[in-house]
Structure 1
Amino acid sequence: METTVGRTRQIAIVLGSGAGMYLSIGIVLIYGFSVFVVPIAKDTQWDRTVVAAVVAPIAIVNGLMSPVVGALTDRFGPRRVLTVSSISMAIGLIGIGIVSHSLTAFIAAVVVASLMGAAQTGVPYTYVVVGWFSARRGLALGVMLSFVGLGIATVPPFLAFLISVWDWRFAFMAAGLISMAITLPVALFVIRDPPVVRGPDRAGVEGYTVRRAGETASFWLMLGAFFLNYFAAAAGSISLPVLLADRGADPAAAALVMSLVGLSFIVMRLGFGALLDRFPPVPLTSLAFLSPVVGHLILLNSEGLIAAYVSAVFFGLATGAEGDAIGYLLSKRFGMRSFGKLFGINYMALTMGAGLGPAFLHIVAAGGTRYDQTFMIFAGVATIAPVLLMLDRQTRTLTR
């Protein structure tokens, strides 16, 4: 497949898709939301636990929409989907800044923005890269998805800066305008639909239908592993700014921890993508999925700021590995016939884990459970993910 497109076009597709992922809805409204919690609660006097828990409906909406986005991508191609969603995501983010004058209006605006930006995710961008690459697919995914780490490292501190200079409402509106300024030109001028047959039946494309994939143990074990890994890793990483604020860190230092998450995320995306092309992917992914266990155990055994920064690195490693592995394993195990739908379903698990994990952590801690007990719970949950991946023989024996 790679002979059908020039090397320059390949590079442009990977970098353009990466630029789109840099300001995807997950970066702005899930990872970026971490720096909004304390300023919003302080400015409005709304309950901080409720504000922090708003990340859960963000993730639920995006998660539930992921299979729909996957189906639309299979049917119409990623370029059309990304063009429309770039504009609608911007409108949704601007709307949060305009209408959020009560807690109810704020929650409603955030949910609507999540819905309007639901297609600015890894579903169509991964479809583009997987569709254009066969050899060096892991490396191409790693390069593209490393921009997510760059977004995690730089977007939350930038949003924190906007909040400190103006206010949190302006920061949401600015995020909407900036995101469209980047993602719309990418969709219009860089993204090209891969040469995969589109249509209702896609009978000429090799691979599994959704129904056939759903009848395999591999599909459900991967789904569970992807959910639990991101549930545990995001619970730690997205909650770190709030945890650091409770430990006495100033807002700048609290926001900086997300930069460490993002930097380790980038390193893992680039390195792990290349490793997937060289080593058995399932044992490699299972090993990487132990990272959240280490991160939570570090937080459990130390209350210092340095320990939080070190744990951020491990959480970044876990999320970085999953982003590469999910597209790679699905395409290897189930082919391209229903890749958009299958990836969308699994991306739903990933996204819902990213939202439910932090919300659950704050709720458990606010309910009287000490943070150290909470970290122990999440370390235990994190150990299940690699076990699930290794349980299925068909998945475990996949070769590079």
Structure 2
Amino acid sequence: MANKSKKGIHYAWFVLLGVAIMMGFARGGLNNATGLFLTPVSDDLGMSLSSLSLYVSIMSIVTMIFLPFAGKLIAKADIRIILIVGVIFHAGAFAAMGFMNSVWGWYILAIPCAIGYVIVAQIAGPVIINNWFKKSKGLALGIMMATVGAFGAFIAPWVGKLIANEGWRSAYTTSGLTLGVGAIIVIVLFIRFAPGKKGAYGDDEINAEDTEATAANEEANKGIASNIAKKSPAFFALMAFFFFLTSVAAFAQHVPTFAITKGFDTAFGGTLMGLFMVGLLIGSLTFGFLADKIGAKGTTFVALISGLVTFILFLLFGDIKVMIMIGAIIFGFLSSSIGTLGPLLTISLFGNKNYADIYATASIGLAVAGIVALPLYSLIKDLTDSYNIVLVAIIVMIVISMLLVTVAFKQKEKLMKAGHWN
């Protein structure tokens, strides 16, 4: 097995390519373009911003309900079939929004859109990468999220121009169908669930005579059982961390509207989302590299500090074009940590033993944030015609997140001392 790596590029990297492009279309494209439509649709159809953005909360409720089943579903069925159905649900519902005339249309389409999103853009990528990479896992996750940022950096301005030039209806259908078809093509060509006989990346460094490497491999497959983990303070701290971090990142959907309140136009909002995606790309690669070098805990604090910088810039200098552009880039830097550090923190706290199940359940914190944060931000904006209260609240949430990470790792030590890591 020692010579296996010399035969060419390991197939794990092709799987990563497929996962990354799929995530780029779904998460970097469709999901991050959502905020660009809120103001044009609400203005055109005479809806309040808060009533329209409520559909995102419905998506989050569906996500919360569906998440515990998604990890098990992915593990049991043909991954390509599951992903293709997920793309049809997600991209198809997104495209269909271009035909809606009532807010109820968005509320109904939120259901299939959320189910597809959970499968394609939230659970599948980290689980597949965890299966295929025994080493360089942080780098692989970083590349995945960097691709999300790279795709979003081009897709967001493209969608913004579509809205400005063709109208929001055409922008919905064109972007939904184009990105959906692209995702299905890469799923068919590249994605496989597990290595099988090919072996995961890093397996070729382990052989029966290399006792040190064998021991390291056995340790890598250890962890805390699901039933123990899910009852622990460390798990609830992780879930709360996911809630607050996602609440912070959810402001990305409001960045275009935030820019409008500061006197900028919709096209500039698209530019900001493009810069946000550039930050996402840079942050993903940086955090993936740092996580492999200094660990998930230290890298998380780097991410949270960058978040403090972002929202101080938005709060104090949001009406200065250059400063809000810099803030958008750094905000992308922070937001990339959800896709990169979320899985790595879960593995660091609870191991690989029951990773998919624990991560899927902890991710309910992400879904709850979507239920609460987006409509609350919209409501505050509608009531005050300003985002200042929101920005202050987000700064507080970032500080709380730092405390939660500290608590989670202290509780992990207690679990290990109690003999639950095996």
| TM-score normalised to structure 1 length | 0.88
Q: Calculate the aligned-residue CA RMSD, in Å.
A: 2.7
Q: State the partner residue of 1:293.
A: 308
In structure 1, runs of 5+ residues without a counterpart are 198-204
Matched-pair contact (CA < 8 Å) for 2:157–2:271: yes
Q: Tell me, in whole angstroms, the C-alpha distance in 1 between the residues paired with 2:35 and 2:391.
A: 18
Q: State the partner residue of 1:39.
A: 40
Q: Tell me, in whole angstroms, the C-alpha distance in 1 between the residues paired with 2:31 and 2:371.
A: 7
Alignment of 1:271-350 (within 5 A): 271-304=286-319, 305-350=321-366
Post-superposition shift, 1:259?
A: 1.2
Matched-pair contact (CA < 8 Å) for 1:131–1:196: no
Question: Using a 3 Å threshold, how does the CA distance of structure 1 residues 138 and 244 change in structure 2: closer, same or farther?
Answer: same
Matched-pair contact (CA < 8 Å) for 1:150–1:263: yes
- For residues 167-193 of structure 1, the C-alpha deviation after alignment (integer angstroms, 9 at most, x for no partner) is 222222223322232221222221112
Matched-pair contact (CA < 8 Å) for 2:20–2:144: yes
Matched, 1:393 2:395: no
Q: State the partner residue of 1:11.
A: 13
**Amino acid corresponding to residue 15 of structure 2 in structure 1:** I
Q: Tell me, in whole angstroms, the C-alpha distance in 1 between the residues paired with 2:148 and 2:412.
A: 26
Q: State the partner residue of 1:95.
A: 96
Number of aligned residue pairs: 388
Q: State the partner residue of 1:83.
A: 84
Matched, 1:188 2:188: yes
- For residues 145-201 of structure 1, the C-alpha deviation after alignment (integer angstroms, 9 at most, x for no partner) is 21221233222222222222322222222233222322212222211122489xxxx
Alignment of 1:126-137 (within 5 A): 126-137=126-137
- For residues 205-252 of structure 1, the C-alpha deviation after alignment (integer angstroms, 9 at most, x for no partner) is 7544432211222222111112211212322x2211001112221221
Post-superposition shift, 1:9?
A: 1.3
Q: Secondary structure at the match of 2:263?
A: coil
Q: Secondary structure at the match of 1:131?
A: helix
Post-superposition shift, 1:17?
A: 0.6
Alignment of 1:198-217 (within 5 A): 206-217=222-233
- For residues 264-310 of structure 1, the C-alpha deviation after alignment (integer angstroms, 9 at most, x for no partner) is 11111011101111113212212312332222222222242333222
Structure of higher CA gyration radius: 2
Matched, 1:167 2:182: no
Q: Tell me, in whole angstroms, the C-alpha distance in 1 between the residues paired with 2:116 and 2:140.
A: 28
- For residues 344-393 of structure 1, the C-alpha deviation after alignment (integer angstroms, 9 at most, x for no partner) is 22333234435643332221232338532331122112211111101232
Matched-pair contact (CA < 8 Å) for 1:213–1:334: yes
Q: Tell me, in whole angstroms, the C-alpha distance in 2 between the residues paired with 1:369 and 1:175.
A: 30
In structure 2, runs of 5+ residues without a counterpart are 198-220, 417-422
Q: State the partner residue of 2:393.
A: 377
Q: Secondary structure at the match of 2:366?
A: helix
Q: State the partner residue of 1:22.
A: 24
Q: Tell me, in whole angstroms, the C-alpha distance in 1 between the residues paired with 2:317 and 2:413.
A: 36
Matched-pair contact (CA < 8 Å) for 2:310–2:328: yes
Question: Using a 3 Å threshold, how does the CA distance of structure 1 residues 127 and 330 change in structure 2: closer, same or farther?
Answer: same
Matched-pair contact (CA < 8 Å) for 1:69–1:118: yes
Q: Tell me, in whole angstroms, the C-alpha distance in 1 between the residues paired with 2:178 and 2:413.
A: 42
Post-superposition shift, 1:116?
A: 4.1
Question: Using a 3 Å threshold, how does the CA distance of structure 1 residues 20 and 366 change in structure 2: closer, same or farther?
Answer: same
- Superposition misfits of 4+ residues, deviation over 6 angstroms: none
Q: State the partner residue of 1:201.
A: none
Question: Using a 3 Å threshold, how does the CA distance of structure 1 residues 165 and 303 change in structure 2: closer, same or farther?
Answer: closer
